[in-house]
């Protein structure tokens, strides 16, 4: 039988709130930028660059949820 692993958080509640807040703000800003670029019929290259803010936002949210 395999023993379950225990997740020991390495950030406190303040750090989790900070990372969650950062992640949500960056995702919302990325969504607004995506809407603006889509409305302006921007080239595909510029819309592809939106990967960066969405990736950063998701990373912040996942870190807050995973307590890492």
Predicted TM-score (pTM) of the model is 0.81
What pLDDT, on the 0 to 100 scale, is given for residue 25?
A: 97
Residues in the chain: 68
CB 67 within 8 A of CB 11: yes
Both tokens of 60, joined, read 């912040």
What pLDDT, on the 0 to 100 scale, is given for residue 1?
A: 65
Instruction: Give residue-wise pLDDT tens across range 18-65.
Output: 999 999 999 999 999 999 999 999 999 999 999 999 999 999 999 999
End-to-end CA distance of the chain: 27
- pLDDT tier for residue 68 given thresholds of 50, 70 and 90: confident
CA distance to 24, 31, 39, 54, 61, per residue, from 48 (Å)? 20, 13, 15, 11, 21
What pLDDT, on the 0 to 100 scale, is given for residue 3?
A: 75
């Amino acid at each position: 039988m395999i023993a379950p692993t225990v997740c020991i958080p390495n950030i406190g509640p303040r750090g989790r709130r900070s990372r969650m807040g950062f992640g949500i703000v960056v995702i919302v800003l990325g969504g607004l930028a995506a809407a603006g670029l889509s409305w302006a019929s921007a080239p595909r290259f510029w819309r592809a660059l939106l990967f960066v803010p969405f990736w950063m936002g998701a990373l912040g949210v996942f870190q807050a949820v995973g307590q890492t």
